């Protein structure tokens, strides 16, 4: 019996060492972003300050809410595109438009999707003022994504659920605004 236990321990140790050797040789993966457990609330001025903080970089801001089915459908695709384009210089953040009562749903949604970009929450109230500060031509419809050139000027927008191709085109045009002019 002791030989059997000793043999099993030796086999198990061998597997552990082999597994460690494989793990040690594996290429280092980029650590996953820490899950978001709270959403900082932004009013219109704070939103514009976040946009200004990205000065010098092309910026994409996506507005979404958990009650918006097209937002929930589009968001994972947006997250995938951000993974693809962040390394090319695209700055990104998200704006959750859920009400106070829906914050736990928003946090759960973010835990599930695991975005690679920060998300904030629009301060409830003063809807028209906030919308007009973001873009006076925006009706407030969701989902909505806004694109800013490196100088912080609104460059374009997508409103309503969009196909991947529309995002790729808008992102590439936004990135082109950062290219040196000839």
- Tell me which of 18 and 182 has the higher pLDDT: 182
77 lies in some domain: yes
Query: β-strands 144-148, 154-159: how paired?
Result: antiparallel
User: How would residue 36 be classed by pLDDT, with cut points 50, 70 and 90?
Assistant: low
Q: What is the CATH number of the domain that holds 72?
A: 3.40.30.10
130 occurs within a structural domain: yes
Would you say residue 33 lies in a domain? Answer: no
Tell me, yes or no, whether 4 lies in a domain.
Answer: no
Residue 38: band (very low, low, confident or very high) from pLDDT cuts 50, 70, 90: confident
Q: Number of folded domains in the chain? A: 1
Cα 21 from Cα 19, distance rounded (Å): 5
What pLDDT does residue 179 have? 74
Q: Give per-residue pLDDT as tens, 102-130.
A: 999 999 999 999 999 999 999 999 999 99
Whether residue 63 is contained in a domain is answered as yes
C-alpha–C-alpha distance, residues 53 and 70, integer Å: 29
Structural tokens at position 48:
């514009």
Residue 156 domain-assigned (yes or no): yes
Does the pLDDT at position 31 exceed 80?
Answer: no
Determine contact, residues 82/90, Cβ cutoff 8 Å.
Answer: yes
In a domain, 94, yes or no: yes
CB 133 within 8 A of CB 44: yes
Flag whether pLDDT at 12 surpasses 80: no
Strands annotated E in the chain? 40-42, 59-64, 91-96, 119-122, 144-148, 154-159
In a domain? residue 44: yes
β-pairing, 59-64 with 154-159? unpaired
Q: Is the pLDDT assigned to residue 15 strictly greater than 70?
A: no
- Rounded to an integer, the average pLDDT of 39-57 is 97
Structural domain harbouring 129: 40-176
């Amino acid at each position: 019996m002791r030989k059997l236990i000793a043999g099993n321990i030796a086999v198990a140790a061998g597997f552990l060492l082999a597994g460690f050797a494989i793990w040690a040789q594996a290429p280092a993966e980029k650590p996953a972003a820490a899950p978001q457990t709270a959403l900082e609330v932004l009013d219109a001025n704070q939103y514009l300050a976040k946009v200004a903080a990205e000065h010098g970089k092309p910026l994409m801001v996506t507005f979404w809410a958990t009650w918006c089915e097209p937002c929930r459908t589009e968001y994972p695709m947006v997250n995938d595109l951000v993974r693809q384009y962040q390394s090319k210089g695209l700055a990104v953040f998200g704006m959750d438009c859920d009400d106070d009562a829906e914050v736990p749903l928003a946090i759960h949604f973010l835990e599930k999707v695991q975005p690679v970009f920060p998300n904030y929450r629009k301060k409830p109230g003063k809807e028209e003022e906030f919308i007009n500060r973001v873009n006076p031509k925006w009706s407030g419809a969701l989902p909505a994504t806004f694109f800013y050139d490196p100088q912080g000027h609104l460059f374009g927008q997508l409103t309503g659920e969009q196909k991947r191709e529309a995002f790729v085109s808008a992102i590439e045009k936004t990135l082109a605004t950062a290219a040196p002019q000839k």
